[in-house]
Amino acid sequence: MKRQVDQIKKLSIYILILVSVNSLFGASLQTKLDTSLATIGDHLHLTITATHSKQYSVQFPTKKTIGRFEVINRSIKNNSQSSKLSSACTFTISTYDTGKTKIPQLKIHFQHTNDTSQSLVMKSNSLPVNIISVLPPKAQKSSSIKDIKPPFPIRTVIPWDLVIFFTLLIGLTLGAFFSWKKWKENQETQPEVKEEYLKPPHIVAQNKLEALKQSANFASRDEIKEFYTRLSRILRQYLERRFFILALEMSTTEIINVSDEFNISPSQIEKLKAILKNIDLVKYAAKSTQEAEALELLDDIYDWIENTKKGNLFSNRSDLTEVLEKLDYNQHE
């Protein structure tokens, strides 16, 4: 009897202290679980609502686990009342262990916003939960263990940065290879040589003059001008091959200036100057001329080539190729 009286006294003192603390801080807790019976893997919602004075702030636990339960999500909602604040923290929890268990008590901290010495820790209620299997009891005894969840397919992740890198690398490598191959082929390829260049330059020029003479037509001013233009080209091609100058790209004045280096007689040099000037008069100065004068000029060019000709310059194609390569190298220098 005396023992029971002592217990009643202690309980009264505890209640008195609790009421005094609640009156001092104006705080209270309410713990709620949406269900006390669930199957493995189910999401349960544990809500702890703290009502406290506006002078205090509340801090809820941030644990990853609560007892045997895994915390999947945590959200807080605040609601302001007339003189107090109501803060509700909802924990979404789940477990894959079956059997009867309890959600343990959680510590809730209250802190005065201006005075850190005034603080309070309260504990939420412990709530019982029964977790059962998804299979009925008879099936649990007769069947083997099965997967709770089906296998989760693993999505193949394509490393696009590596794919792009190696694609560019392969493209650059192939481009460099084919460029080198083409350059190698160009180095090994002999320059193309026209068959006419295997003949002496005076033979080529005189054959072209004969062909021009046979096809000449002096019916109009334009045809006469075309005749003189072709005469000029045949003569300049001969000068290029005979004296190794770029006569087709040079003006008449430039050819005359270098004619002293042709190693021919002064009379032939003077005759060349007269022929070039006569051609330019008809081509550029629009000098009137007759068919007879044009054919006479053609014969003069034919004779001048005959008097300044030189023997076969090349005995075969390889000799000509070697000279042309040297000329091309000197021009680029």
- pLDDT greater than 90 at residue 207: yes
Asked if residue 125 and residue 204 are part of one domain, the reply reads: no
Helices then strands, each counted (H, E), the chain:
9, 11
Chosen domain end from 82, 104, 131: 131
pLDDT for the residue numbered 310 = 78
- pLDDT, one tens digit per residue, over 118-163 is 777 888 888 898 889 876 656 555 445 555 566 666 777 788 888 8
Structural domain includes residue 137: no
> Residue 204: which pLDDT band, with cuts at 50, 70 and 90?
very high
- pLDDT, one tens digit per residue, over 281-298 is 888 877 777 888 889 999
pLDDT for the residue numbered 64 = 87
Structural domain includes residue 249: yes
Chosen domain end from 112, 131, 150: 131
Structural domain includes residue 154: no
Q: What is the DSSP string of 224-269?
A: HHHHHHHHHHHHHHHHHHHH---GGGS-HHHHHHHGGGS-S-HHHH
> Residue 54: which pLDDT band, with cuts at 50, 70 and 90?
confident
pLDDT for the residue numbered 237 = 93
Q: Which amino acid makes up residue 287?
A: K
Number of domains comprising the chain = 2
> If you average pLDDT over residues 208-212, what whole number do you get?
93
Asked if residue 211 and residue 84 are part of one domain, the reply reads: no
Taking the C-alpha atoms of residue 119 and residue 233, their distance in angstroms, rounded to an integer, is 112
Asked if residue 201 and residue 109 are part of one domain, the reply reads: no
pTM over 0.75: no
List C-alpha distances in Å: 311 to 93, 237, 251, 308: 109, 17, 27, 10
Alpha carbon dihedral 31, 35, 40, 42, in 10-degree steps, equals -90
Which one has a higher pLDDT value, 263 or 318? Answer: 263
Asked if residue 211 and residue 116 are part of one domain, the reply reads: no
> Residue 333: which pLDDT band, with cuts at 50, 70 and 90?
low
Structural domain includes residue 147: no
pLDDT for the residue numbered 298 = 93
- pLDDT, one tens digit per residue, over 218-258 is 888 888 889 999 999 999 999 999 998 999 999 999 999 99
What CATH code is carried by the domain that includes residue 20?
Answer: 2.60.40
Taking the C-alpha atoms of residue 91 and residue 48, their distance in angstroms, rounded to an integer, is 8
pLDDT for the residue numbered 143 = 46
pLDDT for the residue numbered 15 = 45
3-state secondary structure of 101: strand
- Supply the mean pLDDT for the chain: 79
- pLDDT greater than 70 at residue 214: yes
Domain residues for 211? 195-332
- 320: Cβ–Cβ under 8 A, 6 or more apart, which residues? 193, 197, 198, 313, 314
Taking the C-alpha atoms of residue 46 and residue 89, their distance in angstroms, rounded to an integer, is 8
Alpha carbon dihedral 279, 282, 285, 286, in 10-degree steps, equals -170
Taking the C-alpha atoms of residue 65 and residue 276, their distance in angstroms, rounded to an integer, is 107
